[in-house]
Amino acid sequence: MTDETPEAPRKLSPEEEKARKRRNVAIFWSLIGFIVLIFLVTLQRLSANIAAGG
């Protein structure tokens, strides 16, 4: 093991901060879309099972 101290994180430039925020927003909406998709598929499958008498 080495006794190196970890480097302090560097300050992001304004362009990097904007890019990070855009990525975070894209990830957020992707997750919301995935959750809605799973919910709709579940509802469809449940309603199909109820209609089939299950």
29 Cβ partners below 8 Å, 6+ apart?
none
pLDDT at 27: 98
Q: What's the DSSP call for residue 11?
A: P
* DSSP conformational letter for 6: P
Tens-place pLDDT, residues 9-23:
899 999 999 999 999
Residue 49: the pLDDT is 92
Q: What do you get for the CA distance between the two ends of the chain, in Å?
A: 61
What is the pLDDT at residue 1?
A: 59
Predicted confidence band of residue 3 (pLDDT cuts 50, 70, 90): confident
Interval 26-53: pLDDT, tens: 999 999 999 999 999 999 999 999 999 8
Backbone angles phi, psi at 52, to 5 degrees: -85, 0
Q: Tell me, what's the pLDDT at 12?
A: 92
Of the CA atoms within 13 Å of residue 12, those in its CB half-sphere come to 8
